[in-house]
Amino acid sequence: MAQSKSTVPASVPRRELAQILTDLREASGLTLKEIADQVGVDHGHLSRVHRALRGISEELLGKLLDRPYAHVATDDERTRAFELLRADLAEEDPYKRHSTLLTPTQYGGYLKFEAGATSLRAYELALIPGLLQTEEYAAAVIEAMRPDLSKKGVATLVEIRMQRQERLMGGGKAFHVVIDEAALRRPVVSAEPMRRQLRRLVEVAEHPFVSVRFLPMNTGCHAGLYGSFMIMGFSEPTPSVVWVEGLAESTYFAKQDHVERYATAFDSLWQRGVPLAADHDFVEKVIKELPT
DSSP string, 113-135: HHHH-SEEEEEESSS--GGG--H
What average pLDDT does the segment 240-251 reach?
Answer: 84
Mean pLDDT across the chain, nearest whole number? 86
- Closest to 142 measured CA to CA, from 94, 98, 205: 98
- Given a contact cutoff of 8 angstroms between Cβ atoms, the answer to whether 113 and 163 are in contact is no
pLDDT at 49: 87
pLDDT (tens digit per residue) in 63-115: 899 999 999 999 989 988 888 887 776 565 556 655 565 655 566 677 878 88
Rg of the chain taking only CA atoms, in angstroms: 22
- Rounded to whole angstroms, the Cα distance separating 100 from 108 reads 10
pLDDT at 56: 86
Instruction: Say if residue 22 is exposed, middle or buried (CB neighbours under 10 Å; 0-12, 13-18, 19+).
Output: middle
pLDDT (tens digit per residue) in 150-165: 999 899 999 999 988 9
Give 217's DSSP letter.
Answer: G
- Rounded to whole angstroms, the Cα distance separating 45 from 55 reads 10
- Closest to 186 measured CA to CA, from 129, 131, 143: 129
pTM of this prediction exceeds 0.85: no
What separation, in Å, do the N-terminal and C-terminal C-alpha atoms of the chain show? 52
